[in-house]
């Protein structure tokens, strides 16, 4: 049994729905346009790491890379898309009239296109006005019965292009401040103790900073056996 999780009115239980259903053969989600900004900026990261140098500095690029790595880690651990990004979802087959989009589809901003490639290589683009409906809250797509699915090719026949993530850091901060805290905590860890783990005796320090797992706990799926 899976439990639905809510935070500030947002249903995170929907994100785990794809795990409740039978797995579709080989579903792939690729980020084709990553976020153009990060949850925290360089100045905030330096404060969290207690760095006092004046920017611009040659070390700024390194800290900026830690921010990106921390955001990617939080996205991986939660299955969410933190900030606006374009993703292409590929499916071999569609076995139901309802497609549940995989991880990193929530929050779903829009479905920009759905294409099906047949065995001859011809591409059919579905009409959003007549061929499908989108459930933005739960990241689901219903294929209308009026759409006749062509003789689809074997691999990656379906290509669904979506835009996912919170629209900007301010909205993310307002809606999910714990995720901002997780990115900041992990960034500071990467920039300080995490950077020096190789020089610390094995077993004396955790690789994940204290409190990180607890912050993300409300966003993780819960299984009761």
Query: Tell me, what's the pLDDT at 11?
Result: 46
Q: What is the mean pLDDT of the chain?
A: 85
Average pLDDT over residues 113-132: 96
| Structure tokens given for 27 | 């579903």
Query: At 210, is the pLDDT very low, low, confident or very high (cuts 50, 70, 90)?
Result: confident
Query: At 198, is the pLDDT very low, low, confident or very high (cuts 50, 70, 90)?
Result: very low
Whether residue 25 is contained in a domain is answered as: yes
Q: What is the pTM of this model?
A: 0.81
Q: Which domain holds residue 35?
A: 6-219
Whether residue 224 is contained in a domain is answered as: no
Average pLDDT over residues 108-126: 97
Q: Over 70: is that where the pLDDT of 111 sits?
A: yes
User: What is the enclosing helix (H) or strand (E) of 174?
Assistant: helix 169-175
Whether residue 153 is contained in a domain is answered as: yes
How far apart CA 145 and CA 97 sit, in angstroms, is 8
Query: At 193, is the pLDDT very low, low, confident or very high (cuts 50, 70, 90)?
Result: confident
Whether residue 133 is contained in a domain is answered as: yes
Q: Using alpha carbons, select from 141, 171, 139 the residue that is nearest to residue 158.
A: 141
Question: In terms of pLDDT, which residue wins out, 107 or 204?
Answer: 107
> How big is the CA angle at 105 (ends 76 and 137), to the nearest 5 degrees?
130
Whether residue 121 is contained in a domain is answered as: yes
Whether residue 162 is contained in a domain is answered as: yes
Domain count, the chain: 1
Count Cα atoms within 13 angstroms, Cβ side, for 83.
19
| Structure tokens given for 126 | 């579905």
Average pLDDT over residues 124-146: 96
Assign 199 to helix, strand or coil: helix
Whether residue 1 is contained in a domain is answered as: no
Whether residue 46 is contained in a domain is answered as: yes
């Amino acid at each position: 049994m899976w439990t639905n999780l809510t935070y500030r009115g947002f249903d995170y239980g929907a994100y785990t729905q794809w795990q409740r259903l039978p797995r579709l053969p080989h579903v792939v989600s690729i980020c084709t346009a990553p976020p153009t900004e990060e949850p925290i900026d360089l100045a905030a990261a330096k404060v969290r790491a207690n760095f006092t140098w004046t920017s611009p500095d040659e070390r700024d690029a390194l800290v900026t890379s830690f921010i990106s790595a921390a955001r990617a880690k939080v996205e991986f651990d939660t299955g969410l898309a933190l900030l606006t990004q374009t993703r292409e979802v590929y499916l071999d087959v569609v076995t139901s009239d309802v497609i549940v989009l995989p991880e990193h589809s929530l929050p779903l901003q829009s479905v920009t296109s759905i294409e099906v490639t047949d065995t001859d290589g011809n591409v059919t683009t579905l009409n959003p006005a007549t061929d499908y409906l989108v459930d933005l809250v739960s990241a689901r797509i219903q294929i209308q019965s009026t759409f006749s699915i062509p003789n689809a090719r074997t691999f990656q026949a379906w290509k669904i292009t979506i835009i996912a993530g919170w629209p900007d850091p301010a909205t993310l901060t307002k809606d999910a401040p714990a995720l901002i805290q997780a990115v900041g905590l992990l960034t500071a860890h990467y920039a300080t103790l995490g950077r020096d783990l190789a020089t610390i005796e094995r077993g004396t320090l955790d690789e994940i900073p204290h409190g990180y797992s607890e912050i993300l706990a409300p966003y993780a799926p819960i299984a009761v056996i």
